[in-house]
Amino acid sequence: MLERTLRGIAGIFILFSVLLAVKVDIRWLWFTAFVGLNLLQSAFTNWCPMITLLKKCGINECCSTNKDGGKK
């Protein structure tokens, strides 16, 4: 659940900032670059500021599932 929420938020931020860059001001692409750089650094450091924030908001990692898709 946590990782799906993170990917959803990142996707929304990127699409929204590109839309703002096209409709409002090209400088919104700096926000797109910021999100991309955060994703890149989290790939190397295994730490993401948004995950820390989401955990503080009460969104936890999903429990594991077995092979048939049911919860353990």
Q: Has residue 72 been placed in a domain?
A: no
Q: Has residue 43 been placed in a domain?
A: yes
Q: Has residue 50 been placed in a domain?
A: yes
Global confidence as pTM: 0.74
Distance CA 47, CA 49 (A): 7
Instruction: Look up the domain containing 39 and give its range.
Output: 2-56
Distance CA 6, CA 11 (A): 9
Report the pLDDT value the prediction gives residue 20, as an integer from 0 to 100. 98
* 8 Å CB contact between 46 and 6: no
* Domain count along the chain: 1
Find all residues with CB under 8 Å of 52, minimum gap 6, and list them.
none
Q: Has residue 33 been placed in a domain?
A: yes
- Quick: pLDDT tens for 13-72: 999 999 999 999 999 999 999 999 999 999 999 998 888 898 999 988 765 555 555 555
Q: Has residue 32 been placed in a domain?
A: yes
Report the pLDDT value the prediction gives residue 2, as an integer from 0 to 100. 86
Report the pLDDT value the prediction gives residue 68, as an integer from 0 to 100. 54
